[in-house]
Amino acid sequence: MSEIDVDDAVDPIALFRLWMKDADEREINDPNAVALATATREGVPSVRMVLMKRLDTQGFCFYTNAESQKGTELAENLKAAMCFHWKSLRRQVRVVGSVVQLPPEDADEYFHSRSRLSQLGAAASQQSRVVASREVLVSRVKELEREFPGEIPRPDYWRGYVLRPEQIEFWKDGEGRLHDRFLFTRVGDGWSKERLFP
């Protein structure tokens, strides 16, 4: 598939890769930014932006603090959803599936590929918890900087996750709200495809 053609696409992962490549070239900031929706065991939802760091045979990979709100919710309820929105391209992709943790070695590799300050920030932050002031956070970063002048160990709570897609929907803007929507649903090792009303 050399052209971005939703009508003829049969493989949603290949199509997503083409749309992502287009976004990488044309979207101004963070084309890999995605809204990640999680929910508690009782089904109370929450959503926030994260960065998708990799798409592989398992699915859509991201990293976060396992003790954060999203990490806690993922421990209770493995179902999650993502929505990529490339406003300047007038496209979006929605993904629904189950989330599993990536191996610790994967988290180690990505953690140590980040800038030193990003590693310190991740180690210092008790994400989603109340902090008295910004100074408390900055002070904690400085403490860790002194404690670890060399390599910063990845905190055990900083982990990688992958959303394994069960459904992927592609939306393309159309004139007069006659948008194109195609829903791919996993069936065994393949995908079924349906066109949806906009």
pTM (global) more than 0.85: yes
Closest CA to 78 of 186, 162, 191, 168: 162
Q: What pLDDT digit, counting tens, does each position of 13-37 carry?
A: 999 999 999 999 999 899 999 999 9
Instruction: Round to whole Å and give the CA distance between 49 and 32.
Output: 10
Predicted confidence (pLDDT) per residue in 156-198, tens digit: 999 999 999 999 999 999 889 889 999 999 999 999 999 999 9
One-character DSSP codes across 170-186:
EEE--GGG--EEEEEEE
The domains of the chain, with CATH numbers, are 12-106+158-196 (2.30.110.10), 113-153 (no CATH)
Rounded-to-integer distance, Cα 142 and Cα 104, Å: 26
pLDDT, tens digit, 9 for 90 and up, residues 79-132: 999 999 999 999 999 999 999 999 999 999 999 999 999 999 998 988 888 988
Q: Which two tokens stand for residue 144?
A: 């860790």
The pLDDT-based confidence of 8 (bands split at 50, 70, 90) is confident
The residues annotated with a catalytic role in the active site are 177
Rounded Cα distance, 27 and 89, in Å = 7
CA separation for the pair 72, 161 (Å, rounded): 13
The alpha-carbon radius of gyration of the chain (Å, integer) is 19
